[in-house]
Chains A and B, each alone.
Chain A
Amino acid sequence: MNNSLLPAAFADLEAHVAEWALPSFDARMQHRAASSMDNIRRFYDAMQPRAEAALAHLENFPLDALPAAEQRLMHMLYALAQAAMAVEIHGQPKVGHAKLPIAVRVLREPLPV
């Protein structure tokens, strides 16, 4: 049995899975907002150069029935979108004057989650 957290070609990203491959939008958003910029940047710098390859790999599977390792990789991509808010837009982990936890909650996410 294969116990890899991520598809073999993405094994180098496994160190980030526990922290970033979170299964809901709110969990990813709150985690990013509460993280330090250094922490977000470490993940962004590791994941961003692999994002195109990850999308290309995931295109080989049905979107609504990803195997477990592929599902984690998809959640890592979603987390990258969160990291991009800090790195590419705010230049800080969250909206400067926002309080933690963030007051906005997503009750129904885009599907599939």
Chain B
Amino acid sequence: MAADDFIANKWTQLAGLKNGPVSAESYRSPAFYQLERERVFGRSWLIMGRVEEIAKPHSFMVKEIEICEASVLITRDGEGRVQAFHNVCSHRHNLLVSEPQGCSQLIKCPYHGWAYGTDGELRGVPDEKCFVGLDRKTAGLAKIATEVWNGWIFINLERKPSVSLEDFLGDFGSFLANMEYPNADNPIVVEAQLDCNWKVVADAFSESYHIPVIHPETIGTTFASTSNRTGRLMDARFFGPHRFCSMYGNPEYRPHDHQKVEQLAYSQVQTGSTIAAGKVGSMDAFLAHPSVNPTRTKSWSMDVNFVFPNFNLDTGPGGFWTHHFWPTSYHTTRHEVRFYVPKALTVRERFQQEHYLSRVIEVLVEDVSNVARVQRGLESGAKDAMFLQDNEALLRHSVHHVEKWAKSATVQEAMSE
């Protein structure tokens, strides 16, 4: 393929947007951040994790949504139902669970010992006789609207969500429906506290224009080649506030001769082991999904499925991985990444995973070491607007929909065409 074969200049138009500068205000304005708190994160369905994280009856996990000052307790009760609650004791509002996850039929408040079932019901009150008129039925944990969709746990912080999850996902739900998630029970979990607005880091994982420049040694030669030097997209699609793109991959990539450790780590993969063969079957179903590498090209590195507002589901030849971009202030972010990997059964597989993780961490370090510089540039106020090219259409789409939700009085208005 010649370089110009990858010029599309149609993604922006497909996103329903016009070319031209994009305002930088939503990345640096404390006032806008307040609108994001109430109108974006306060009203959207948010992906909190996967059902495999609380696989057993009576298991639970705690997730923080800093921007909304919400601590969320997600449980699987004795009947297997998944439900989210505010992680707040009904008595004096102490935060109930302090560990990130656990498994227990009774969850006890560490302050005065009030105890709750994993179904959120109040089960025990020390010296209950002294609480005159206490009705246990009305003193359970505060429920949060919860839906499980294809193994993803969504919550909505509105007491009565203005939109159903089905309508919120719209056509993106059909696009992603019935995807297989290989190794969903075995994530590597990574976290970084970053000095940037949450959209700055989300943007870094929504385009491949930066890859040959910021990642020249780690993945520059895997995401670009002489036929696509600047990481032009293979495909992009837009679904209401959600978005998708497919990124180019260099099919000719091989380790250099001097990369002895990389060659050793991957030697088993090249020769094919019986265990890898056993796993190929489960990967096939995932790779056969019509929305994984939808252009069916060999020159494919990965796809980005961005679920509005802050979740990134990535798919690639080796499986899937995710990003959560959690705002912690208008210019700080907690970035969570999960790489879902097979359980290593042999020493060589385990060594390969160590090399794989070492490398992807270096890529993350390259990305997240730059975001604070972007934020400083934004906050300097030097410029009012950013210039985005057609292959950065997902960023333009992101700003457009975040701004739309922030200025809309109702969710119906935010979701209107």
B187–A51 touching, CB < 8 Å: no
A90 lies within 8 A of B354 (CB) = no
B217: chain A residues within 8 A (beta carbon): 89-91
Name the B residues within 8 Å of A63 (CB-CB).
344-347, 350
Q: Are A81 and B188 in contact (CB under 8 A)?
A: no
Whether B260 and A106, one on each chain, are in contact in the complex, defined by CB atoms closer than 8 angstroms, is no
Of A74, A82, A104, A112, most buried by chain B (CB within 10 Å of CB) is A104
Which of B41-49, B162-170, B308-316, B358-366 lies at the binding interface? B358-366
**Smallest Cβ distance from A27 to chain B, in angstroms?**
13
- Shortest B213–chain A CB gap in Å is 12
> How many contacts between A and B, using CB within 8 angstroms?
118
CB pair A88–B343 under 8 Å, yes or no, is no
Q: How far is the CA of A88 from the CA of B359 in the complex (A)?
A: 11
Interface stretch, picked from B85-93, B191-199, B234-242, B407-415, is B191-199
Report chain B residues within 8 Å CB of A15.
none
Residue A103 is within 8 A (CB to CB) of chain B in the complex: yes
Q: Does B368 sit within 8 A of A, measured CB to CB? A: yes
B365–A98 CB distance below 8 A: yes
How many whole Å from B61's CB to the nearest CB in chain A? 12
B48–chain A nearest beta-carbon distance, Å: 16
A84 on the interface (CB 8 Å rule)?
yes
Shortest Cβ distance from residue A79 to the other chain B in the assembled complex, whole angstroms? 9
B258 in complex: contacting residue of A83, A88, A99, CB < 8 Å: A88
Whether B348 sits at the interface, judged by CB under 8 Å, is yes
Q: How far is the CA of A94 from the CA of B358 in the complex (A)?
A: 12
Complex interface: chain A residues within 8 A of B37 (CB) = none
Determine how close the nearest CB of chain B comes to the CB of A101; give it in whole angstroms: 11
Is B361 a contact of A111 with CB atoms below 8 Å?
A: no
Q: Indicate whether A103 sits within 8 Å of B192 (C-beta atoms), given known contacts A95-B369, A97-B369, A110-B350.
A: yes
- For the complex, is A77 an interface residue (Cβ under 8 Å from B)? yes
Q: Judging by beta carbons under 8 Å apart, are B259 and A55 in contact?
A: no
Contact status A108-B187, CB under 8 Å: yes
The interface bits of chain A over 60-92 (1 if a CB of B lies within 8 angstroms of the residue's CB, else 0) are: 010100000000001001101111110111110
Q: B17: CB under 8 A from chain A?
A: no
Known: A52-B264, A81-B261, A108-B188. A103 touches B369 (CB 8 A): yes
A48 smallest CB distance to B (angstroms): 6
Give CA–CA (A55, B354) in the complex, Å: 13
Complex alpha-carbon distance, A98 and B362, angstroms? 10
**A105 neighbours in B (Cβ, 8 Å):** 190-192
B370 on the A face (CB < 8 A): yes
Interface size on A, residues (CB 8 A): 41
Chain B residue, CB-CB nearest to A78: B354
Taking a contact as CB atoms under 8 Å apart, the answer to whether B189 and A106 are in contact is yes
Closest to B187 in A: A108
* Bound Cα distance from A89 to B221, whole angstroms: 12
User: In the bound complex, how far is the Cα of B258 from the Cα of A112, in angstroms?
Assistant: 29
Most chain A CB neighbours (cut-off 10 Å) among B192, B193, B357, B373: B357
B361 touches A106 (CB 8 A): yes
A25 within 8 A of B: yes
Q: What distance in Å separates the Cβ of B73 from its nearest Cβ neighbour in chain A? A: 19
Separation of A18 and B350 alpha carbons in the complex (Å): 22
Residues on the A chain within 8 Å of B258, using CB:
88
Contact A104–B192 (Cβ < 8 Å)? yes
B75 → chain A, closest Cβ, in Å? 20
B358 in contact with A82 (CB, 8 Å): yes
The reply on A109 being an interface residue by CB < 8 A is yes
Q: Which of B189, B194, B362 contacts A85 (CB 8 A)?
A: B362
5 more CB-based (< 8 A) A-B contacts, given A87-B261, A98-B366: A78-B354, A97-B373, A105-B190, A107-B190, A109-B357
17 contacts between A and B (CB under 8 A): A25-B354, A77-B354, A78-B354, A81-B261, A81-B358, A82-B358, A83-B261, A84-B261, A87-B261, A90-B217, A95-B369, A98-B366, A104-B361, A104-B368, A108-B188, A109-B188, A110-B357
B residues engaging A (CB < 8 A)?
186-194, 217-218, 256, 258-262, 264-265, 341, 343-348, 350-351, 353-355, 357-359, 361-362, 364-366, 368-370, 373
Top 5 closest A-B pairs, CB basis? A84-B261, A108-B189, A98-B369, A110-B353, A81-B355
